[in-house]
């Protein structure tokens, strides 16, 4: 396994009336983050909050190219980002013990922190299609260029891990500075990750390691990139 220190590029926040950052996603222009009772749209260039949607937002957040998906207690809501309207809901696989959320390959990927698992689920029904086991608490989840990454957070230790999507084997790890936790994770589809900072109320940008060549196929992508 390749291990290195995470390079923090930028910190955003804390923000007014935001006590905790949970899920994080990226729509190609804005970073969306969950903060308990609302979703917030952040301009990653200026660091300005542009708008909020009043909706239950307790854990992971994802974007499929058109809609936002948001974990709210024991369910996952499909949300129209233009109107803020909840269009549909499905059961979350952890029944309220879910953490990260990502969109890839036409499906949702749901982290369960204390169960140390990532589930691939049907976005229409919530049916679990497969499960990947981790050896640490799973917080945020993201896919980029065929790579599956997830955040971990136990005690004052946290890292970003690239894992084998078939076996869960850890292939690479970026260690966050001590006391700097990751509560949500998303890639911008290029050279950085956006990480929720838990009770600090911050969002952090972390450098994504460079690759000699892109891995995987275009069908497995991160927010803001081409999707099936």
Given a contact cutoff of 8 angstroms between Cβ atoms, the answer to whether 100 and 151 are in contact is yes
Q: Which residues partner with 78 through β-bridges?
A: 69, 88
Nearest alpha carbon to residue 117 among 69, 57, 163? 163
CATH no., domain 2-207: 2.130.10.10
Q: What is the mean pLDDT of each run of 10 residues along the chain (228 residues)?
A: 95 95 97 97 97 97 98 97 97 93 96 91 97 91 96 92 93 95 96 96 96 48 36
- β-pairing verdict for 203-207 and 192-196: antiparallel
**What are phi and psi for residue 73, nearest 5 degrees?**
55, -110
**pLDDT at res. 56:** 97
**pLDDT at res. 213:** 53
Q: What is the pTM of this model?
A: 0.90
Domain positions in the chain? 2-207
**pLDDT at res. 211:** 78
**pLDDT at res. 214:** 45
Q: What is the DSSP letter of 36?
A: B
If you count DSSP H runs as helices and E runs as strands, how many of each does the chain have, helices first?
0, 21
Given a contact cutoff of 8 angstroms between Cβ atoms, the answer to whether 33 and 40 are in contact is yes
**pLDDT at res. 221:** 40
């Amino acid at each position: 396994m390749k291990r290195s220190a995470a390079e923090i590029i930028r910190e955003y926040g804390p923000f007014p009336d935001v006590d905790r950052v949970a899920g994080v996603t990226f729509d190609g222009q804005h970073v969306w983050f969950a903060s308990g009772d609302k979703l917030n749209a952040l301009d990653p260039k200026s660091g300005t909050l542009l708008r909020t949607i009043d909706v239950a937002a307790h854990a992971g957040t994802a974007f499929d190219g058109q809609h936002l998906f948001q974990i709210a207690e024991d369910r996952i809501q499909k949300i129209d980002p233009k109107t803020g309207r909840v269009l549909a809901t499905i059961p979350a696989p952890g029944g309220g013990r879910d953490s990260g959320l990502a969109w890839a390959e036409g499906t949702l990927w749901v982290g369960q922190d204390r169960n140390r698992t990532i589930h691939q689920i049907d976005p229409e029904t919530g049916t679990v299609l497969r499960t990947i086991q981790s050896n640490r608490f799973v917080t945020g989840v993201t896919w980029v260029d065929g790579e599956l990454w997830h955040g971990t957070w136990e005690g004052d230790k946290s890292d970003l891990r690239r894992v084998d999507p078939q076996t869960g084997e850890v292939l690479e790890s970026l260690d966050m500075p001590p006391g700097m936790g990751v509560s949500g994770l998303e890639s911008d589809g290029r050279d950085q990750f956006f990480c929720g900072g838990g009770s600090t109320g911050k969002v952090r940008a972390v450098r994504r390691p460079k690759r000699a060549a892109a891995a995987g196929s275009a069908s497995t992508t991160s927010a803001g990139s081409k999707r099936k």
